[in-house]
Amino acid sequence: MHAGDSLLYVLSGRPEMKWAEFKRVVACLRTQEASSESATSLASRVARLLDALGHIEFANRNGTLSINTCPPSLVRLPNTDVRAVLAGSRGPAFLESVSKSAANLGITVSLTPHEGVLGSILPCAAFFTSGDARAMEELATAAQLTYSAEPPSAALAQFAASLADVSASWKWRSEADLNWEKSYLDPDTGQFRRDPTQHAIRMVRYKDPTKTTYRYRVWNELRNCEVDRDWGRLWILNKLSYPVFFFNRADHTFIHPENIVLPKLLARAILLCSGESPIISRPRAVHRNVPRSVALTVTGKVGQLLNEFHSSEPWRSQ
């Protein structure tokens, strides 16, 4: 059995899983390729991808982070043919039952492992392909799966919050810097480094000496505010006019630095274009089969222009 499938089966059999337990389970599935990564970082990356693929949702109950598995659904992909991916919870018996129903309707089912270092930890993508749109609707009805004949990726991107929306609620203040261990965002790589930045507009990561967790602030001269890490990073890139999102019109790949993480709904909008995790061609993440309209909406939401070009090997030529 594929290790990533086992992870989803375990999650599907529980009403919720505490973050600490999830981290231990992911650590047990760690491969040699991911052996140098911390347990927390690895679990965080796996959880983000499971969320973006529509399998899980995060819950915060009284300060305790836990993971809930989404109800099973059939997600239409924005392809020219009728193609969908199975998202949410599933067990072996359920998957076998849905596959049999699909076969009876002339729908082809394929289980495809995700590529890259995390491929063995993520559940295989279960694709359903048909030449008949009505057959897919009949399958959803028979298997009691949520389904929309209209691919949801464009709607997710359209209705997700924008950087302008989020930053409008930030509470700026003038106060002294924290006397904690700190590192500074490097806009070129999206990583935090110990070397202080010379920019008046900057983002700082602070390590809480008591909880050993991180907190983030963005600064504009002497004023600052506490922010979510992903939105704060995107705000800095916007203010400093750093171009980080690229689109190849030849093969519809959407490319960005590996360390630039899209917020939840926008990440889900991109991954549910293909149903696959991105290919990591360091230092870039490459998403396949993304319609140009979705790429434009997502980049517009985070205050970026989409840098378009035409190449057979986009992430190697940039």
The pLDDT score that the predictor gives to residue 165 is 97
Cis peptide before 72 (omega within 30 of 0): no
Res 35 pLDDT > 90: no
**How far apart (Å, rounded) are the C-alpha atoms in residues 96 and 122?**
19
Of 300, 270, 249, the closest CA to residue 151 belongs to 270
Q: Which residue has the higher pLDDT, 67 or 34?
A: 67
The pLDDT score that the predictor gives to residue 318 is 44
Structure token pair of residue 47: 């959880």
Of 256, 297, 271, 228, the closest CA to residue 54 belongs to 271
Q: How much of the chain exceeds pLDDT 70, in percent?
A: 97
Top-level CATH class of 73-149? Answer: alpha beta
Q: How many residues does the chain have?
A: 318
Q: Confidence band (pLDDT; 50, 70, 90) for 111?
A: very high
3-state DSSP assignment of residue 139: helix
The pLDDT score that the predictor gives to residue 61 is 80
Partners of 173 in the β-ladder: 224
Q: Which of the following CATH numbers is that of domain 3-69: 3.40.120, 1.10.287, 1.10.10, 3.40.50?
A: 1.10.10
The pLDDT score that the predictor gives to residue 311 is 84
Cis peptide before 187 (omega within 30 of 0): no
**How far apart (Å, rounded) are the C-alpha atoms in residues 126 and 269?**
18
Q: What is the mean pLDDT of residues 232-251?
A: 95
The pLDDT score that the predictor gives to residue 313 is 65
Q: What is the mean pLDDT of residues 189-205?
A: 90
Q: Confidence band (pLDDT; 50, 70, 90) for 64?
A: confident
Q: What is the mean pLDDT of residues 260-268?
A: 95
The pLDDT score that the predictor gives to residue 92 is 95
Q: Confidence band (pLDDT; 50, 70, 90) for 78?
A: very high
Structure token pair of residue 60: 């915060």
Give start-end residues of each CATH 1.10.10 domain in the chain.
3-69
Give start-end residues of each CATH 3.30.1360 domain in the chain.
73-149
Q: Which residue has the higher pLDDT, 79 or 264?
A: 264
**How far apart (Å, rounded) are the C-alpha atoms in residues 312 and 32?**
31
Q: What is the mean pLDDT of residues 74-85?
A: 94
